[in-house]
Amino acid sequence: MSDKKKIVVATRPSLLAYTQTMQTVELLQKANPEVDFEVKKFSTQGDRVLNRSLTEFGTTGLFVKELEHALLENEADIAIHSLKDVPSFHPSGLKLVAFPEREDVRDVFLSRDGSTIDEMPKGFVLGTGSPRRRVQLADLRSDIEFKEIRGNIDTRMQKLIDGEYDAIILAAAGMNRLGKEFKENLLLDVDQCIPAIGQGAIAIECRDNDPETIAILEKVNHEPTMNAIFAERAFMAEIEGGCKFPLAAHAVVTGEELFMVAIVGDLKTNNFIVEQIEVPVSDSVQKSKELASQMKETCKAKGINFYL
């Protein structure tokens, strides 16, 4: 009988979620050869309800609650999430412990004929359910006709092929993790479309009273990624944002300095503001909160009602 410690890993059943979980488990296994990892799938509300826009739900955490419940009920020991799906505030008794090195944070513009966003015809139909993407892309091309889209990467790509949309937007991180190829010129630079908070990052969560598991997870933590996403999430918590209005922030750590750019907007008018900071990493969480407070005041002054 094996004396190895066993850790049960909770994941969503979707192909992307399962694939990135297995990639993360591989990292954990290499760092902890003395541990056995068992992956267990848990379906979430976000996986089951595909006929409604994400903005229609009155809450965040659609893709994480069932996984966190599994942790609290001791049905699993750790959960692996796409960080952009994790709300600012999570249940008492749980902790986000480790963040492997971040993937590409950018969005990819995919069209049926390979055209870039600048090359698309006037009034083309773009599939996206993201308020963040809508206000920024409307600023790039005011003639876009936006149409709601849901489903996994393959489902969305098939809808594009079938002609339901002229173009769609997907996260480069998900495409890369699934081995989907695309041309480099289809990537939208961060200054064209600021990524979602936490985009490209994986978060590993466990119970906060389990020091042995925490020590195992910390071996795969990437400190620059952790510092960047802590700043982004501090900004999100202060704004009190979810997926119902245009909100984005992207931080990059270079040495002891952190640079962050953020956007807050109004989906009804497509008005938005963009601000940025460059601060010491040691002070970045507090400065990110201050940036959020400042941007809320600016929105009030300019009549940008991002809570609608």
Q: Using one digit for the tens of pLDDT, what is the confidence trace for 197-239?
A: 999 999 999 999 999 999 999 999 999 999 999 999 999 999 8
Tell me the average pLDDT across 72-96. 92
Domain assignment of residue 308, yes or no:
no
Q: Is the pLDDT of residue 56 over 50?
A: no
The confidence score (pLDDT) of residue 241 equals 56
| In a shared domain, residues 35 and 154 | no
| In a shared domain, residues 18 and 50 | yes
The confidence score (pLDDT) of residue 87 equals 87
Domain assignment of residue 196, yes or no:
no
The confidence score (pLDDT) of residue 62 equals 61
pTM, two decimals, is 0.90
Strand partners, 275: 262
Domain assignment of residue 193, yes or no:
no
Tell me the average pLDDT across 110-127. 96
The confidence score (pLDDT) of residue 205 equals 97
| In a shared domain, residues 18 and 91 | yes
| In a shared domain, residues 277 and 169 | no
What is the CATH classification number for the domain harbouring 241?
Answer: 3.30.160.40
Which of the two residues, 138 and 57, has the higher pLDDT score? Answer: 138
| In a shared domain, residues 22 and 84 | yes
The confidence score (pLDDT) of residue 55 equals 45
The confidence score (pLDDT) of residue 3 equals 72
| In a shared domain, residues 69 and 216 | yes
The confidence score (pLDDT) of residue 305 equals 82
Domain around 144 = 107-188
Closest CA to 86 of 105, 63, 67, 104: 63
Residues 198, 83 contacting (CB under 8 angstroms)? yes
| In a shared domain, residues 70 and 112 | no
Residues 189, 106 contacting (CB under 8 angstroms)? yes
| In a shared domain, residues 91 and 215 | yes
Q: Tell me which of 3, 36, 85, 113 is the catalytic residue.
A: 85
| In a shared domain, residues 16 and 68 | yes
Domain assignment of residue 195, yes or no:
no
Q: What would the two tokens of residue 167 be? A: 């173009």
Q: Is the pLDDT of residue 123 over 80?
A: yes
Question: Is 104 among the residues known to form the active site?
Answer: no
pLDDT band at 100 (very low <50, low <70, confident <90, very high): very high
Q: Is the pLDDT of residue 254 over 60?
A: yes
Q: Is the pLDDT of residue 52 over 50?
A: no
What's the structural domain count of the chain? Answer: 3
Q: Is the pLDDT of residue 80 over 50?
A: yes
Domain assignment of residue 95, yes or no:
yes
Q: What would the two tokens of residue 113 be? A: 């004929």
pLDDT band at 20 (very low <50, low <70, confident <90, very high): very high
Domain assignment of residue 43, yes or no:
yes
What is the CATH classification number for the domain harbouring 13?
Answer: 3.40.190.10
> What is the share, in percent, of the chain residues with pLDDT greater than 70?
91
Q: Is the pLDDT of residue 307 over 70?
A: no
Q: Is the pLDDT of residue 58 over 70?
A: no
Q: How far apart are CA 292 and CA 279, in angstroms?
A: 15
Which of the two residues, 223 and 60, has the higher pLDDT score? Answer: 223
| In a shared domain, residues 175 and 230 | no
| In a shared domain, residues 25 and 89 | yes
Domain assignment of residue 112, yes or no:
yes
> What is the share, in percent, of the chain residues with pLDDT greater than 90?
80
Q: How far apart are CA 77 and CA 10, in angstroms?
A: 8
Which of the two residues, 292 and 65, has the higher pLDDT score? Answer: 292
Q: How far apart are CA 2 and CA 19, in angstroms?
A: 27
Domain assignment of residue 137, yes or no:
yes
Quote the mean pLDDT of the chain: 91
